[in-house]
Amino acid sequence: MEYPPPPPDRMHLQHQPPPQQPPPHMGPGGAYGPMPSPAQPQAAFPQGGMGTGAAPERPATRPASATAAAVTALLLAAAGAWGAYAVVKSIQDELAWLAGSQWGDRTFTEILMRGQFLEVLAIHLGIYAFLLVCGLITAPLILKGKAGGRIFGLVWAIVAVLAAAFLVWSFIDNYATWNEYYNLPGQPNPFVQRGIRDGAVVVLSVLFLVLTTVPGVRAWTPGKPSNALIMMVPMGQQQPGPYGPQQPPYQQYPHQQ
């Protein structure tokens, strides 16, 4: 005995495959929840979206540490100007003393480059000029609250500490070698002024390096906010796709003999 075939209105469903579900990111439903519409702001979707980091807040008044950092930079610039003037003045005095002698044909550059490593005046002049230029650039930037001024100051402060160590090393070596020739009765000893100046450079450079890292200076010179972050968080329940719930395939009637 055989059963009759299915009704004619279902014949078109016998060999039709089920409708394909779109990928979750292709439609308004899926594993990641409803997609935001263009008219709706991103902040309305707490499960995911785009956000930007908040800019650090600067204090209403300038901290005392920021003012101290700017003043220290200016003092380093003043020490650099003092040292550069002392080097140039000493070379000019020596040229005037050599005038009319058998060494009167020496030039400014020859005396500037004369001597061994610790005695080369060109290195000392370069260090003092470096302190002068960097101090004059950094001080107004820190007073204005620029992050670039703090970062630039931190970098050249490290170099200044190393340069100050070289100045002290050179001073000790020159003092042990030439002090007896310059320590004349009734004459000013140039090593006294040089010792005060180079000692001040050491103290100020270390102090400025520390001030560029304290919280007050960092708060007064905040950096830029972080870049935008994009985060997608899956929702807890899957929603149906645009084609509705999936329909099971048509089950044919069993044929019995």
| pLDDT tens digit sequence for 46-70 | 444 444 555 567 888 999 999 999 9
- Dist. CA 58–CA 216, nearest whole Å: 10
Residue 234, SS3 per DSSP: coil
Tell me, yes or no, whether 73 lies in a domain.
Answer: yes
- Tokens in use for 256? 């019995």
Average pLDDT over residues 118-129: 90
Average pLDDT over residues 6-31: 57
Domain count for the chain: 1
Tell me, yes or no, whether 134 lies in a domain.
Answer: yes
pLDDT in tens, 168-179: 999 998 888 877
Range of lowest pLDDT (9-13, 42-46, 68-72, 194-198): 42-46
Instruction: Provide the β-strand partners of residue 239.
Output: 30
Tell me, yes or no, whether 241 lies in a domain.
Answer: no
Tell me, yes or no, whether 37 lies in a domain.
Answer: no
Tell me, yes or no, whether 164 lies in a domain.
Answer: yes
The answer to whether the CB of 154 falls within 8 A of the CB of 148 is no
Average pLDDT, whole number, for the chain?
77
Average pLDDT over residues 87-111: 85
- Dist. CA 156–CA 149, nearest whole Å: 11
Residues 6+ apart with CB under 8 A from 141: 148, 149, 150, 152, 153
The answer to whether the CB of 79 falls within 8 A of the CB of 164 is no
pLDDT at 98: 83
In terms of average pLDDT, the best of 55-59, 193-197, 207-211 is 207-211
- Dist. CA 81–CA 192, nearest whole Å: 17
What is the DSSP secondary structure assignment for residue 253, as one 8-state letter? P
1: how many CB neighbours lie within 10 A of its CB?
4
Range of lowest pLDDT (33-47, 60-74, 178-192): 33-47
pLDDT at 123: 93
- Tokens in use for 113? 């480059």
Range of lowest pLDDT (134-138, 145-149, 189-193): 189-193
Total number of residues shown for the chain: 257
Tell me, yes or no, whether 14 lies in a domain.
Answer: no
Tell me, yes or no, whether 43 lies in a domain.
Answer: no
Residues 6+ apart with CB under 8 A from 88: 125
Tell me, yes or no, whether 28 lies in a domain.
Answer: no
pLDDT at 216: 94
Entry pTM: 0.65
Range of the domain at 181: 64-218
